[in-house]
Chain A
Amino acid sequence: MYDVLIIGSGITGACISREMSKYQAKTIIIEKENDVAQKATLANSAIVHSGHDPIPGTLKAKFNILGNRMYKQMSEELDIPLMECGGLVVATTLEEEKTLDMLYARAFENGLKKSEVKLLTKDEVKEKEPNISDHVTKALSLPSTSVTYPLEAAIANIENAMNNGVELATNEEVISIVKNKEHFEVFTKRNKYEAKVVINASGINAENISKMIAKTNFTISPRKGEYYVLDKDVTLVNSVIYPTPSEKGKGVLVTPQYHGNTLLGPTSEFVENDTESTTKKGLDYIKVNIEKTVTNIPYNKIIRSFAGSRPTPSTKDFIIEESNIKGFINVAGIESPGLTAAPAIARYVVEGIVANNIDLVENKNFNPYRKKVIRMNELSDEEKNELYKRDSRFANIICRCESITEGEIIEAIHRNCGATTVTGVKNRVRAGAGRCQGGFCQPEVLKILARELKIDPMEVLYSKKDSAILKAKTKGE
């Protein structure tokens, strides 16, 4: 019997799991996919928003500000990439300038400090951002905007939670939930789990999961966002460039990424099933709209495009509440600024809702620190050779575009919440994330996975459940 069962291992579930690991409670996260954080957390703009945008008084506004203030400490404790690059909301018309003035006032209303908001003239913008479009007339500068690496943020939270006693079960798709007198029975396709408290953090599936047991007054609609990724040798912008928001949302952004790439996007389109597929229409939309804010975009430096879907709630605000069924907690509709808000949401869910259901006793052995991830590219030559002396595989470079070593790949496989697929390796240590997109290193990564996981090369998956790369053997043993 678990005290708490969390459905979903996106950034929300991940942060809740770590928050739970601060207490002596038996907690498990169950995840439908074969790796954690494969949906909205994997495919988004990676921005830790300042909190200037949500409507004052909403949960979005409240948890955005709180979350933003928690990120730095979280990133230090868990060794999560964080680039404090700032953001600029740019206006190109008089109308948009008025919206900027409104956002300026709203930022303070939401609780940003004087030092965290500033209006810039065209010249000031141009000085900060040489590639800004000439159409831009004014900007709202938001220095507390940062960029993180969302997947690693989720992995780091889960890994730390696991080191502190939380369990993780992947490939567990929930098919029904029932409540017996005192506890829940959560049935997956393969198992049955019993828990006193169930937290529904299942992203775009949250409506369906909630409906399995609780009265559900909200709907969740997947709203797809498509992106282009530019090669890391391009420095297009120094900070996050937001267009002036409209009723359609935050618009098409230009976002520098922690690892040096630049993201163009997202689009915003409600979809039924095709939640992760890019479309010609969407990708063209990016190109047309991006030019309003940024110029000199080197389209020949595109190395990838991708899409993901945000779980957009009918309520227009985060849904963070205990349902009509005691102990069944919905944490749903966590779309933007959910990545930013997640650590604050998690604290509130555990201290404010879980605590009303079970007794939370402090876990005295809780270690807030995650063992540092070895990132060879960030080390000095001396440090690199230190590691090499400890394990020579840290000098065997497998991914040439990103200079990722065998040692780093092996670590990514064997840590808690480790990689089990080629894409899992790529998403954790960036082997295959460079310009050749794994053309050279994929066969090597595949061999390392087979060896370390003690499986046949034919069983190594590209990413999802049924995605083996090798289809037949041609040579005899």
Chain B
Amino acid sequence: MKNYDVVIIGGGSAGLAAALEVNKNGVKNILVIERDQELGGILLQCIHNGFGLKVFKEELTGPEYAERFVNMLKEEGIEFKLNSMVTKINKDKTVEYANSDEGFIQIQAKAIIITTGCYERNAGAISIPGNRPSGVLTAGTAQKYLNIDGYLVGKKVFILGSGDIGLIMARRMTLEGAEVIGVAEILPFSGGLQRNIVQCLEDYNIPLYLSHTVTEIIGKDKIEGIKVQKVDNFVPVPNTEMEFEVDALLLSVGLIPENGISEAAGIELHPRTKGPIVNESYQTNIEGVFACGNALHVHDLVDFVTTESRKAGEKAAKYVKGEYKDNVERINLVAKNGISYIVPQMVSSENVDKTIELFMRVTDVYKNVEFVIKQDGKELKRIKKKHLAPAEMEKVILTKSQIEGANKEITIEVEAL
């Protein structure tokens, strides 16, 4: 069995950044396993720009952003395998994968970083009543057909859900000559970034129907139309039906971290993030197994994925070098009123150098509020926030001493001003 110090599962934005950081920290025996025929992950199909503003201070397309990392990986001589699917990881940190060059292979790792990304919630999960004709696709699948393979899946399109991929696809399909009739969002606010609402819908006069959903799919063999209805607290309001003739319905109704192999290995997942529960070092409940990127929790910007994955890579390297302390007291980071989740979920000051960044999402849209941070119920600090929305990830920085000041937990909540 071949041995590696760190095996990274997934060669997308998270895996590439993590691998480079492991390497930078002096651990050189690394393997990145990628299922697709190229490194880069979903970035490769995101041919629009807007990537890299934080990491590179310039605006890149997805493939350009990926290319920078892929080039660095190649320059550093980090080993990677393409067209290779990891089928299993085990508690003893053996990794099983398959490809058509080697067959079914098992390797031994000292540490594993899970960077498997996420998948799209789909028609099955949301159970729209009606038949199951062709022409109902997730926005990401339609994006792959269009940007990688060169085909349009529809010429008269409606989009359900205002997630970022749906918004991006509204613009993209319009530019390719398709008519995008509208976007319906079941919530009273958008699930995508504000800049995408402006640049992808408003600039092209595509209507966004907030508090609306698709209540029926019409058509037996192929989709012929949809019924869209206003909703009040998720319940369709009678007499508000609008019927649209369409040849495709794209779904952009959420992303779910991909954790099939993590779950099978016994990695504990968080009910809200649907990704592994991790500590300050991005380590899961299995020692030596780390997770970052969209497999950990869904990010809105790739730049955040890169930042997070660099940290996870650094910690995994420390683990291999014996510089990471696993058996230490940890306090919990608890999401309270108005906060949906906090990542990481627990922290030990022993593994924190000076500060730690906490990522979180809020449960609702808020204006002029404060984040209230408490140590064991005792107020530590307040941070004013002009505008908060579930679609926009929030960041709070804690110092080592602030963590040391808590015995049991640090809580964060939203309070009206």
Binding site for B on A (CB under 8 A): 228-229, 233, 274, 276-280, 283, 302-306, 381, 384-385, 388-389, 392-393, 395-397, 400-401, 403, 405-406, 435-440, 442-443, 447, 457-458, 461-475
Contact = CB atoms under 8 A, between A and B. Distances in A.
B247 interface: yes
A473 B222 contact: no
B322 interface: no
Nearest to B271: A300
A464 B119 contact: no
Contact of B151 (A385, A457, A467): A457
B155 A472 contact: yes
Nearest to A402: B260
B129 A279 contact: yes
A473 B151 CA distance: 5
Given A437-B123, A472-B152, A397 B131 contact: no
A350 B85 CA distance: 48
B374 interface: no
B238 interface: no
Interface string B146-184: 101111111100000000000000000000110000000
B134 interface: yes
Contact of A395 (B99, B125, B132, B137): B99
A312 B124 CA distance: 28
B35 interface: yes
Interface stretch (B100-108, B289-297, B351-359): B100-108
Most chain B beta-carbon neighbours within 10 Å: one of A283, A401, A403, A471:
A471
Contacts of A389: 103
A443 B149 contact: yes
Contacts, number: 149
Contact of B222 (A384, A396, A400, A467): A467
A437 B124 CA distance: 7
6 contacts: A304-B125, A389-B103, A392-B103, A469-B137, A470-B151, A472-B155
Contact of A392 (B100, B140, B141): B100
Given A279-B129, A463-B221, A470-B152, A401 B260 contact: yes
Contacts of B131: 274, 276-277
Interface in B200-215: 215
A396 B83 CA distance: 7
Nearest to B136: A462
B149 A277 contact: no
Given A400-B260, A439-B120, A467-B222, A462 B129 contact: no
Contacts of B29: none
B221 A467 contact: yes
B126 to A, nearest CB: 9
A435 B119 contact: yes
Interface in B49-100: 83, 85, 87, 98-100
Contacts of B125: 302-304, 437
Given A233-B263, A278-B127, A305-B124, A443 B141 contact: yes
B122 interface: yes
Given A302-B125, A396-B83, A439-B140, 19 more contacts: A306-B132, A388-B100, A395-B100, A395-B104, A396-B100, A400-B85, A406-B100, A435-B119, A436-B119, A440-B141, A442-B141, A443-B148, A443-B149, A457-B149, A457-B151, A462-B135, A464-B134, A465-B221, A467-B134
A440 B42 CA distance: 11
B35 A470 contact: no
Contacts of A458: 151
B273 interface: no
A468 B127 CA distance: 22
B120 A466 contact: no
Given A462-B134, A463-B134, A388 B104 contact: yes
A229 B124 contact: yes
A304 B149 CA distance: 27
Nearest to B256: A435
A438 B221 CA distance: 18
A469 B130 CA distance: 19
Contacts of A305: 124, 127
Most chain B beta-carbon neighbours within 10 Å: one of A440, A447, A468:
A440
Contacts of B215: 280
A274 B155 CA distance: 27
Most chain B beta-carbon neighbours within 10 Å: one of A229, A304, A465, A472:
A472
B243 to A, nearest CB: 16
Closest 3 CB pairs of A and B: A475-B150, A462-B134, A304-B124
B387 interface: no
Given A278-B127, A302-B125, A395 B150 contact: no
Contacts of A280: 129, 215
Given A396-B99, A436-B119, A471 B248 contact: yes
Interface in B266-315: none
A458 B258 CA distance: 30
Contact of A303 (B104, B124, B137, B176): B124
A470 B153 contact: yes
A44 to B, nearest CB: 16
A279 B227 CA distance: 13
Most chain B beta-carbon neighbours within 10 Å: one of A395, A435, A467, A470:
A395
Most chain A beta-carbon neighbours within 10 Å: one of B124, B215, B263:
B124
A136 to B, nearest CB: 27
B345 interface: no
B151 A471 contact: yes
A436 B140 CA distance: 11
A461 B134 contact: yes
Given A384-B104, A458-B151, A473-B151, A466 B221 contact: yes
Contacts of A469: 134-135, 137, 145, 153
Contact of A474 (B103, B106, B151): B151
B155 A302 contact: no
